[in-house]
Amino acid sequence: MRSVKNHLSLIIALFTIVFTMQIYIIVDRTVTAYESNLNEDYSIVVVTQNKVETDTLVALSSKIENAEEISTKEVIDHLQSQMKQRHIDLLKLSLPHFYSLHLDHYPTPSEIKDLRKKLEKNSDITRVEDFAKSHDTLYKLLLLFKSVVVLFAIAVFAVTSLLVMKEMRIWQFQHNERMSIMAMFGAPVWMRSAVLFRLSIVDAIIASLLAIATFTYADITEVGSEQLKSIGVDILLFDPLNDSILIIGVALSLSIILATLIVIGHKEEV
Amino acid sequence: MDKVIFAQDLSLAYNTEEAIISKATFSINSGDFVFITGASGSGKSTLLRSFYGALKPANGSLLVGGVEVNNISTAKLNFLRRHIGIVFQDYKLVKEWTIDKNVALPLIINGYAKDVSDIQVDKLLNHVKLSHKTSKYPQELSGGEQQRVAMARALAHNPILILADEPTGNLDDYSSRLIWNLLEGANTQLKATVVIVTHHIPEDLAVDYKHFNIEGGTIYEVS
Ligand SMILES: Nc1ncnc2c1ncn2[C@@H]1O[C@H](COP(=O)(O)OP(=O)(O)OP(=O)(O)O)[C@@H](O)[C@H]1O
Ligand SMILES: [Mg+2]
């Protein structure tokens, strides 16, 4: 138990890394959920003089999931009361066809631009309305937030890695002596390093359990779910099975890599 | 007689510095009881280190258990070491382990069952009169007590070769006698080959012995 302090720093470092990772996963989930919400409401409207098969429109780009003609009947019905029947007939003849194109995902501004160019090349299409100006500001904010989280995660990873490296030096020093003594009595490498691996695996599991407990608690107490619901996003903050496996997996691999580096760096004392 | 250790024109040096032992030729046979003496800094510990493969010969040949240690494979060296019991001059006990675990180390490495190992550890700690300290840590023991733990550990796995570097250096006459008894017993009853570095060869030894002295980098037998 004399080395509790050393354990603590490795546990905290590993915990910080998996914690940040899970935060990134939550942000990513939020953005994806928000994207699909937006996409449900989003469509591009094209105008054609002649009637076009909807399949032809879908074939114009792989991004277009389906196309639907927008009925003009309602507009005409609305006008019926105010206009003479003769004018209405004339209007019906000259009125173009409107199609709403639904995409398979919520497009970025540049994707919209490309798609617009493609659509305008088609001779039937006379007008394209992409509603690019109304591109969701909240969405842009979320994307910005996601990049910030990524940068933050990289920074956290860099700093904790440095801390862990420093810790590793101490570990190496501590374990070197025992490993050398064991070597003098003929212990093969795996046996000399067994203690080290056991310790780092235990530390990784403790760090994972701490992270899992933290997020389970956040999930139960519904931290932030109010805010997420207010922007129409209802996601799983923490997936008890998949996220736990990922957290344990990452923490274990990191600590095993660490222990391996110590074993490789081991110099036999005489 | 099988040669347990056979050195021919053996030179030992640290890094590229001048040789500490140069062109030594000698042999130690199976079942020998050997003393190595020499002034402080003459190279006694250095010579022992070469016997367990921690220092490779700078020149010449050194066979331990019939194997040339110059180009021994790691697996073979580990195998060899599992049959050697070493008492280091500075004991080298594992600080974070209790006394009984320290003594059990060679037994663990050699894959002894826990119950067999426990009995053997008890027996040896009893021999070195430390049965009451089994669950203490090395730093809670006096220098002489640590030295006796190191002795018990070296004998735990009934090694065929025992290398002891000043095993009584820190002990009073009574404890020294305990150690000599153990080493004599290992030699006569277990047929172990015993190599001891010491400044004082006991006068009341019950076994025949060989005596090598190191002086000015050369090793010669004193008769
Ligand atoms: N690891 C090392 N690196 C370089 N030189 C060393 C090392 N260990 C010992 N030496 C040198 O080798 C020489 C012999 O040392 P060694 O420890 O073998 O002496 P010794 O005969 O065992 O002495 P003592 O009776 O004091 O234990 C000394 O001059 C010492 O400075
Ligand atoms: Mg010495």
B43 lines ligand 1 (CB under 6 A): yes
DSSP E strands, B166-209: 193-197
- Residue A29 and residue A234: Cα distance in Å, rounded? 10
Q: How much distance in Å is there from the Cα of B89 to the middle of ligand 2?
A: 6
Mean pLDDT value of segment A147-168: 86
Ligand 2 ion local residues (Cβ < 5 A): B 45, 89
Helix (H), strand (E), coil (C) string for chain A: CCCHHHHHHHHHHHHHHHHHHHHHHHHHHHHHHHHHHHHHHCCEEEEECCCCCHHHHHCCCCCEEEEEEECCHHHHHHHHCCCCHHHHHHHHHHCCEEEEEEECCCCCHHHHHHHHHHHHHCCCEEEEECCHHHCCHHHHHHHHHHHHHHHHHHHHHHHHHHHHHHHHHHHHHHHHHHHHHHHHCCCCHHHHHHHHHHHHHHHHHHHHHHHHHHHHHHHHCCCCHHHHHHCCCCCCCCCCCHHHHHHHHHHHHHHHHHHHHHHHCCCCCC
Cα dist from B147 to B14, B50, B158, B173, B176, whole Å: 26, 22, 18, 14, 10
pLDDT score for B1? 57
User: Virtual CA dihedral for B107, B110, B116, B119, nearest 10 degrees?
Assistant: -20
Question: How far from chain centre, in Å, is Cα B16?
Answer: 26
Residues of A in contact with B109 (CB under 8 A): 182, 185-187, 191
Say which CATH topology domain A43-130 has.
Answer: Alpha-Beta Plaits (3.30.70)
Residue A241 has which token pair? 């099975």
Residues of B in contact with A185 (CB under 8 A): 81-82, 86, 105-106, 109
> Could you tell me how many helices (H) and strands (E) chain B has, helices first?
6, 10
Write down all domains in chain B, each with its CATH number in brackets: 1-73+189-223 (3.40.50.300)
Res A2 pLDDT > 60? no
pLDDT score for A3? 62
CB neighbourhood size of B120 (10 A): 20
A18: confidence class by pLDDT, cuts 50, 70, 90: very high
Residue A89 has which token pair? 């007939």
Residue A198 has which token pair? 């056991």
Residue B34: its H or E element = strand B33-38
Q: What percentage of chain A carries pLDDT values higher than 70?
A: 95
- Residue A105 and residue A178: Cα distance in Å, rounded? 58
In DSSP terms, B63 is beta-bridged to B6, B68
- Residue A134 and residue A156: Cα distance in Å, rounded? 36
**B38 close to A259: Cβ distance less than 8 angstroms:** no
User: With a threshold of 0.95, does the pTM exceed it?
Assistant: no
Best residue for ligand 1 mutational test, from B16, B21, B46 (most atoms within 8 Å of Cβ): B46
Q: State the average pLDDT for chain A.
A: 84
pLDDT score for A36? 84
Q: Of all atoms in ligand 1, which is nearest to the CA of residue B44?
A: 21
Res A45 pLDDT > 50? yes
Round to the nearest angstrom and report the end-to-end CA distance of chain B.
Answer: 20
Lowest-confidence segment of A21-30, A42-51, B68-77, B180-189 by average pLDDT: A42-51
Tell me the domain boundaries of chain A. 2-37+138-269, 43-130
pLDDT score for A143? 83
Residue among A2, A181, A189 whose CB faces B92 most closely: A181
pLDDT tens digits, A194-246:
878 888 899 999 999 999 999 999 888 888 778 888 877 778 888 889 999 99
**A259 close to A167: Cβ distance less than 8 angstroms:** no
pLDDT score for A1? 47
Return the SS3 of B10: strand
- Residue A96 and residue B6: Cα distance in Å, rounded? 106
Angle at alpha carbon of residue A41, lines to A38 and A44, rounded to 5°: 105
Residue among A178, A187, A268 whose CB faces B109 most closely: A187
pLDDT tens digits, A89-144:
777 777 888 888 888 888 877 888 888 888 888 888 888 888 766 666 777 888 88
Average pLDDT, 10 consecutive residues per value, chain B (223 residues): 89 87 93 95 94 93 92 92 96 94 96 95 94 95 94 96 93 90 92 94 91 94 87
Give the residue with greater pLDDT, A74 vs A215.
Answer: A215
**A119 close to A100: Cβ distance less than 8 angstroms:** no
- Residue B68 and residue B134: Cα distance in Å, rounded? 39
Contact A270 B106 (CB under 8 A): no
Q: How much distance in Å is there from the Cα of B38 to the middle of ligand 2?
A: 10
Mean pLDDT value of segment A3-26: 86
